[in-house]
């Protein structure tokens, strides 16, 4: 508002000079469009992946090509395989040998290999500290650990991942601290558009 009043000058009932109009147009170009004018975000959802990342991302690419573009993929369910046989496929993505086609966020941080891969992600410098928007595992792949809330393309997403475990902290578990953090986030006046939980 201050910039507008400076650009327009005192109210005289006359039209602003052409240069003032030009400044207003430039200023308007810098401002984000109102939410109602923005294109609605397009999000893909899936359940249990069970380590079948080749199958998942092949399907994502097919849907993306035929009905896209999509902004992100949200995976709710067990992300890792149930047995060690599927770990090579998971390893290809987590270690960067196979690309993740769109930003992908996952809960369900348990199963074969979860501790190995997620421990490595936890130690990354960029993942240290309090993060609610997902820990970066590799390019375009984010682990939603514990509980939190973040914005994605204008959508507010809250999540709680894992099974309740009061004594131990580990992968696939959430603690009373995670529940408390989610309660605090729920008291925020910002509307939550999507809530992810598993199991």
The domain ranges of the chain are 40-198
Please tell me the distance from the alpha carbon of residue 145 to that of residue 148, in angstroms, as a whole number. Answer: 8
Residue 16 is predicted with a pLDDT of: 46
Mean pLDDT in residue range 48-60: 96
Six-digit token pair at 7?
């650009």
Contact between 156 and 191 (Cβ < 8 Å): yes
Percent of the chain residues past pLDDT 90, beyond the cut: 35
What are the DSSP E strand ranges found in 118-182? 135-138, 141-143, 147-152, 155-161, 163-164, 173-174
CB 142 within 8 A of CB 122: no
Q: Note if the pTM is more than 0.75.
A: no
Identify the band that residue 161 occupies on the pLDDT scale cut at 50, 70 and 90: confident
The dotted CATH code for 40-198 is 3.60.21.10
The pLDDT of residue 48 is above 50: yes
Q: Which helix (H) or strand (E) holds 178?
A: helix 176-186
């Amino acid at each position: 508002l201050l910039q507008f009043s400076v650009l327009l000058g005192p109210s005289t009932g006359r039209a602003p000079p052409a240069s003032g109009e030009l400044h207003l147009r430039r200023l308007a170009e810098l401002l984000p469009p109102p939410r109602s004018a923005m294109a609605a975000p397009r999000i893909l959802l899936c359940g249990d992946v069970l380590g079948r990342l080749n199958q998942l991302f092949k399907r994502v690419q097919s849907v993306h090509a035929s009905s896209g573009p999509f902004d992100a993929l949200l995976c709710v369910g067990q992300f890792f395989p149930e047995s060690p046989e599927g770990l090579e496929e998971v390893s290809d993505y987590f270690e960067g040998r196979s690309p993740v086609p769109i930003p992908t966020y996952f809960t369900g941080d348990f199963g074969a290999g979860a501790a190995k891969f997620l421990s490595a992600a936890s130690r990354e410098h960029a993942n240290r500290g309090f993060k609610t928007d997902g820990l970066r595992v590799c390019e375009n792949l984010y682990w939603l650990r514990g509980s939190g809330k973040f914005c994605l393309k204008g959508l507010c997403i809250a999540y709680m991942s894992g099974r309740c475990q009061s004594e131990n902290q580990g992968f696939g578990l959430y603690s009373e601290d995670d529940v408390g953090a989610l309660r605090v986030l729920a008291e925020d006046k910002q509307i939550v558009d999507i809530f992810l939980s598993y199991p």
